[in-house]
Structure 1
């Protein structure tokens, strides 16, 4: 296990914990609405969906972090979990930009750390 594998996986997980916080608890705040490009009226309508989506991000982060925790003692299990978490994060970023090309910046922010984690996790297999 390298410092790069652990570092990028943990950073990707922490980013997704932050996204969970924004989507699930700060969704209607002006700064969060600006971050996601959502109007005040739309934010109110989308709040239940954002709340749920935020927890998806949290669960992916937990999977990745449990994987990191197991890398030292149960390498294959830890690698599988870390790859499942970061691979899903990366896949979500790809889906985001594939659906709407104007979301390239958001997809890069969401997907760069998971992509690096996936790369280093695969190099260690």
Structure 2
């Protein structure tokens, strides 16, 4: 059970590192604008906001990875708490996304599936 939880948490973290790259460094690129359904003008206007938001995603990934490292190491209880904080926040963000705009269902599922599964398996290992 722990191995599955760790793998899912790492996958969730890696996805959020990717989102960090898109939001913080590639926000105005055509492919990123298409992914986030934003116009060139809107991307230019929201560039600073996206940069900041991208770092939130990175920080959630870091919390999750530190937790995973502690689970694998000698501090499973603290590691599980950190991994749950990171993946639980990722999952909550996906829920906020879909409850705010139903047309973002695909993005919310993409953003929230690994965190949801990680949370379930992290809780099952307790």
Bucket of the pairwise TM-score, normalised by the shorter protein: over 0.9
1:105-120 counterparts in 2 under 5 A? 105-120=106-121
Shift of 1:111: 0.1
Once residues 41 and 97 of structure 1 are traced to their aligned partners in structure 2, the CA distance between those partners, rounded to angstroms, is 24
Q: Deviations over 1:40-96 (max 9, x none)?
A: 000000000000000000000000000000003101100000000000000000000
**Rounded Cα–Cα distance in structure 2 between residues aligned with 1:71 and 1:31:** 36
TM-score, scaled to structure 2 = 0.98
Corresponding residue pairs, total:
125
The answer on 1:55 being equivalent to 2:71 is no
Greater RCO, CA 8 A, separation 6+ = 2
Secondary structure of 1:20's aligned partner: helix
The unaligned stretches of length 5 or more in structure 1 are none
Aligned residue runs from structure 1 range 26-45, under 5 A: 26-45=26-45
The SS at the match of 2:81 is helix
What secondary structure is seen at the aligned counterpart in 2 of 1:27?
A: coil
Deviation for aligned residue 1:3: 1.8
Q: CA RMSD in A?
A: 0.7
Name the counterpart of 1:93. 94
Unaligned runs of 5+ in 2: none
